[in-house]
Structure 1
Amino acid sequence: MATGGGEDSPDVAIRPDVVEKEEQQAEAVFLSYTFHMSAMRSENGDSRPLNGEIEDARQTNREYDKVGRQLATIGDDIYKRYETTFDNFLKDLDPNLENAYEIFKKIASSVFETGVNWGRILTLLGFGYRMALYIWKKGQHGFLKKIAQCLARYIVESRIAQWIAKQGGWCTQSLANRS
């Protein structure tokens, strides 16, 4: 599944410790992404949702914070383009604490159906953010960390973590140095 964009096949073995590191980083980067995406939305006149949850998402690791900020900036157009589509999926599927991972996996699998690239990863981050907002608006607070765990779990199970590792990881210079 984790192929595409002309990249190497994921079947080449990556050490388990490297994959575990990518999983941990995925969670941290997603939380940073949501923090910065929320800040960008509030700058555009939207109210800042997720209250204290979003403040807790701020990363103390400067490198992950920088990557999350860059991904939010780069992914803003993708997020805007798919916002209505995400909302329609969420209304139809009605996620909650019990079914969150299965719903997340269903949507994520369709995103990566034809391969992996950074654009699709940004789409997945945007969907995760939108899912957290949807559930928060339904009155289920404390859900952001659960979405981050769903994203990280999916990235490992689908072997996207291997693809990310082959690209140099989340903190690859091609992402961290974009302005």
Structure 2
Amino acid sequence: MGEEDYRALVADYVNYRLSKHGYQWENGPAQRKNNKVFQAVRKLGDEFENKQDSCDFQEMVTSLHITPDTAQSTFSTVTNEMFSNGINWGRVVALIGFGGAFSVECVSRNMPQLVDSVVDWVATYMNSNLKDWISHNGGWVSDSWSLLFG
């Protein structure tokens, strides 16, 4: 998977998340893909969002007080902390979920212009920092992915 593939995956999830909150993303994908990985990521995002004992990304993101001037550095700080103890599938999916929550917060604070940037930040992080790990762990359709999230 290359950066454009990661961008498509993240864009699909962000668009899905925004639509669940009643928002439209002007530059979002025209239609949802029926790709199994995209569907699995949407399902996992829903499960993660609905878990009572999990960290509520939306509340956490709201507490970050995002502005156009601080958005990228705030995103980078949280993302780097998320992976400070290593990489696993849960954290990879959490990164995508965080990108969705961050995008919802940007739109709710009248900063919809940042959504494209958020998608790019997530895709770039995945391509630069997670691609090798994902590949070495069988990719998105690996047995470990299926056992954990299938």
- The bucket for the TM-score relative to the shorter chain is 0.7 to 0.9
Q: In the alignment, what sits opposite 2:90?
A: 119
Q: How does 1:12-91 map to 2 (within 5 A)?
A: 21-38=1-18, 41=20, 47-49=21-23, 51-53=24-26, 56-58=28-30, 62-63=34-35, 66-80=36-50, 81-83=54-56, 85-91=57-63
Please say if residues 99 and 119 of structure 2, whose CA atoms lie closer than 8 Å, have aligned partners that are also in contact: yes
Please say if residues 18 and 103 of structure 2, whose CA atoms lie closer than 8 Å, have aligned partners that are also in contact: no
Q: In the alignment, what sits opposite 2:125?
A: 154
Aligned-pair CA distance for 1:76: 1.9
Per-residue CA deviation, residues 54-85 of structure 1 (Å, 9 max, x unaligned), is 7x23567653xx322211102322233322x5
Q: In the alignment, what sits opposite 2:113?
A: 142
* CA 1:38–1:86: 2 relative to 1, 3 Å: closer
Per-residue CA deviation, residues 8-41 of structure 1 (Å, 9 max, x unaligned), is xxxxxxxxxxxxx4322221101112233445x3
What SS does the aligned partner of 2:135 have?
helix
Please say if residues 31 and 148 of structure 1, whose CA atoms lie closer than 8 Å, have aligned partners that are also in contact: yes
Amino acid at match of 1:100: A
* CA 1:61–1:75: 2 relative to 1, 3 Å: closer
Q: In the alignment, what sits opposite 1:4?
A: none
Between the aligned partners of 2:78 and 2:62, the Cα distance in structure 1 is: 10
Q: Which TM-score applies when normalising by structure 2?
A: 0.77
Per-residue CA deviation, residues 72-103 of structure 1 (Å, 9 max, x unaligned), is 102322233322x5423442x32233332221
Unaligned runs of at least 5 residues, structure 1: 1-20, 42-46
Unaligned runs of at least 5 residues, structure 2: none
Between the aligned partners of 2:10 and 2:146, the Cα distance in structure 1 is: 14
Between the aligned partners of 1:88 and 1:62, the Cα distance in structure 2 is: 30
If you compute each CA radius of gyration, which structure gives the higher value, 1 or 2? 1
Aligned-pair CA distance for 1:173: 4.6
Please say if residues 61 and 101 of structure 2, whose CA atoms lie closer than 8 Å, have aligned partners that are also in contact: no
Aligned-pair CA distance for 1:104: 1.2
Between the aligned partners of 2:122 and 2:112, the Cα distance in structure 1 is: 18
Between the aligned partners of 2:9 and 2:15, the Cα distance in structure 1 is: 10
Count matched residues: 145
* CA 1:110–1:26: 2 relative to 1, 3 Å: same
